[in-house]
Structure formats: structure tokens, C-alpha cells
Amino acid sequence: MSYEGFLLVDKPTEWTSHDVVARVRRLAEMKKVGHAGTLDPMATGLLVLGLGRVTRLLRFIQDQPKEYVATARFGVATDTLDADGTVTDRSPLPVGQTETERALAGFRGEITQIPPMTSAIKVGGQKLYELARRGEEIERPARTVTIFELEMTGFSAGDFPEVDFRVVCSSGTYVRTLADDIARALGGRAHLTALRRTRIGSLHVENASTMEELAEPGRLAGSILAPASGLAGMETLQVEEPVAARVRHGSKLPVDQLPVDGHTAILDGDGRLLAVYRREDSVARAEVVLS
């Protein structure tokens, strides 16, 4: 049986994102499975998978804002900025809740981050984590990201405070770097002890399946979401024949048929996703055609 659609998975801790993809490939008995938005092994939560031709739509999921809940331990730094790493610095940072909340406020909006060495970003054609494994550290260019929402949800005082927070951020944001940068603003360092992704765009972890659930007979087939459901935040245009036939062939469309600049999901008369188009100058061009 061949599947076409999105699959929402609640990734368990200690699993890599690739582990999840490999397991779903075996369960679905198909090779064409991919994911949007890598989660570190320590992290849990929403991992969006694409099956079949829908893997071509994953880049649109990847670009959507993401929500996380996290816990940071202030005063302790690790080489990975999370609990999987080796402690590199341990210095008490007995800050208070009000002081910490003020520091968080300075990180809302557009900010710059320097990616951690233990990340998959490529510099000079090499992934940073591959260099880190060889004991190398290189200069990394700062990247601009956006923090749409950032709030403290819990605070445990002490020489090494624990700070719980929720963040909604743009694609490419490193939450572990955010936690360490907040601590640096307070005069110290920090690392994450917990990280959970709860949302990507309009897709929520509450609707995701665990790996144990997906192994149950019939559960995988019943968990596949229609392609259009993963693009809920995108503008849509429903077309009838003969326009639908042109879309299936990836033909150009008059620009005035698309409602907005940027991407538009083109649906047939029954609401099935046919393609994703983009307005460019005087025409609308197909970027992804599913049919």
C-alpha cells in the first residue's frame, strides 16, 4: 500500500528525527518518507513527516513558525547547550524572577543568534556538528531570527535557577542558544534540560501519534492527513475544469487568478490539493505539482 499525506508524530526523547523516519519507512513499507524541522535527540514533541509525493511539500511546513516549551538551568553550560552535552562551566547565577523576566523581554522580536557548533548548519560545505566531533570550532556568522512570543511559565530560585518558558519563533531559531543568550544577558551561562515542540504552523502535537501507537494494526493508515491539511496557513484557490486540468500539468496561470503574492495552494472542486503556485511578475508558476 502506498501512502500520500502528512503524518504527525510525537517524537520520544533519545530518538533522532532520522530514527523516526526510518521506523515509519518500515511501518509504511515505502522509502519516500521525509520530515520537516529536525528535533535534537533530547527533545520531544511534534515532528511532521511527509509520505510519498507529499515530501515535496515539507519545505512549506519547515518555513512556518514553531512553538516550544522548555526548561533551562542557569549557571551551568554544556558544550551542546543541552543536557546531552559535557559540562564546560559551572558558576552560580542567583538571579531573581523579576530580573529574569526583564531579560526575557529583551529577546522578543527580531534578534541575532550564533548557531551552536553542534548543529547541522553547513559552513564551507561542512556540517558544524561534523567539525565539532573532530574537536574543531570555527567562527560562525550570526543569523537573524524572530521571536514572536516569549514568556516565563515557571521559576525555581537558587544558585542555579531553573526557568520554564514558552516560545514561538521563526524557522531556524535555536532554542538552546536562546536560553544561553538570556543567561549571558544576566551575567552567566545556561543549558536546556528539557525541550518539547508543541506546534508548527497550524499543526499541534495534541493531534500527533506516538511511535507505539503507530505500530498498532491499522493506526498508521488512519493517521495520514490529507496534503491540503498541512498547508492550512497558506492562501487557497479552488478551481474547476478546465483550469484544474491545466494545473495538473503545471501550466502557467494568469496572475490575476491568484489571490495574493507568494504561495497559493490550488485545490480541485472536491477540495483535493493539486499544486502549489507562486505569483511572479505577470504570471503564476507551479512550484509543486502533486497530480
Residues designated as active site: 40
* Per-position DSSP letters for 3-59, written without gaps between them: --EEEEEEEPTT--HHHHHHHHHHHHT-S-EEEES---TT-EEEEEEEEGGGGGGHH
Distance CA 240, CA 213 (A): 39
C-beta of residue 6 within 8 angstroms of C-beta of residue 232: no
Upper half-sphere CA count for residue 251 (Cβ side, 13 Å): 10
* Per-position DSSP letters for 120-147, written without gaps between them: --EETTEEHHHHHHTT-------EEEEE
Helix (H) or strand (E) holding 61: helix 58-62
Distance CA 17, CA 39 (A): 6
C-beta of residue 11 within 8 angstroms of C-beta of residue 209: no
Distance CA 143, CA 152 (A): 24
| b/e map 19-33, b = 16+ CB within 10 Å | ebbebbbebbeeebb
Helix (H) or strand (E) holding 99: helix 97-105
Helix (H) or strand (E) holding 277: strand 273-280
| Residue 27 main-chain phi, psi, to 5 deg | -65, -40
C-beta of residue 142 within 8 angstroms of C-beta of residue 112: yes
